[in-house]
Amino acid sequence: MKLAIVDLAYGNIGSIQFALQRLGVVPMVTAEPDKIALADRVILPGVGAAGFAMERVDCLGLRETLTSLRQPALGICLGMQLLFEHSEEDNTTCFGLIQGRVRALEAAPDRPVPHMGWSKIDVRSPELGLRTGDYVYFAHSYACDVGPATLASISYGRDIPAVVRQANWLGAQFHPERSGEAGSRFLESFLT
């Protein structure tokens, strides 16, 4: 299998590579549209700001390539947020592949922002490799709202999608590469 990790020259690419290698997959890291389009599976990683990420996508000429993919694709953390229509972060227009907006998390004394740490997940779709009650690792300050595309969620001041799916795109707000055994199960399900 040819698996491409989209290289926007920032973010969590190294940790995703290592997680995939532990599962026996050696991904190619590339920003070349043709290689991404011809891959069997594509991962759009992300750590950082929505505005900068979309600038990188457009600078590299990847918008059309990513929005026209038909093979299984996975957006991780910011990569998932970019699948939505708009982000409050930097007032950014995103890909618009999933209806909805990404908005800032609200801090509270018992709920710091950014949300960094382990949260218990509620799973609505068993084919994800995840189970209700699994703990997965998050690191984010923005999140979309629960909607028809939501397959799993957590509660952090509001219900937050942990996993979404629209057509061939799967999105994980959490970091499967840092989520231990549950994250490995999730990645394995994406690979099969």
Over pLDDT 90: what percentage of the chain? 95
pLDDT of residue 22: 95
Residues catalogued as catalytic: 77, 175, 177
List for the chain the helix, strand, coil content (%; round to 5): 30, 35, 35
4 pLDDT higher than 80: yes
Token pair, residue 74, equals 């996975």
pLDDT of residue 10: 78
pLDDT (tens digit, 9 = 90+) per residue, 130-185? 999 999 999 999 999 999 999 999 999 999 999 999 999 999 999 999 999 999 99
Token pair, residue 5, equals 């990790």
27 pLDDT higher than 80: yes
CA dihedral 141, 15, 92, 112 (to 10 degrees): 0
Half-sphere exposure at residue 79, Cβ-oriented, CA atoms within 13 angstroms = 28
**Residue 185 belongs to what H/E stretch?**
helix 180-191
Q: How confident is the model at residue 12 (pLDDT cuts 50, 70, 90)?
A: confident
Q: How confident is the model at residue 126 (pLDDT cuts 50, 70, 90)?
A: confident
Task: Single out the residue of 106, 113, 102, 112 nearest to residue 143, CA to CA.
Answer: 102
User: φ and ψ at 103, to 5 degrees?
Assistant: -135, 165
Mean pLDDT of the chain: 96
11 pLDDT higher than 80: no
Q: Mean pLDDT, to the nearest integer, of 68-92?
A: 97
Instruction: Give every CB contact of residue 105 below 8 A, 6+ residues apart in sequence.
Output: 111, 113, 114, 115, 140, 141, 142, 143, 156, 157, 160
Residue with tokens 């990420």: 53
Query: Is the separation of the CB atoms in 114 and 104 below 8 Å?
Result: no
Q: Mean pLDDT, to the nearest integer, of 112-137?
A: 96
User: φ and ψ at 158, to 5 degrees?
Assistant: -155, 165
Q: Mean pLDDT, to the nearest integer, of 5-11?
A: 88
Task: Single out the residue of 188, 171, 186 nearest to residue 46, CA to CA.
Answer: 171
pLDDT of residue 9: 83
Residue with tokens 């590469």: 177
d(CA 62, CA 59): 8
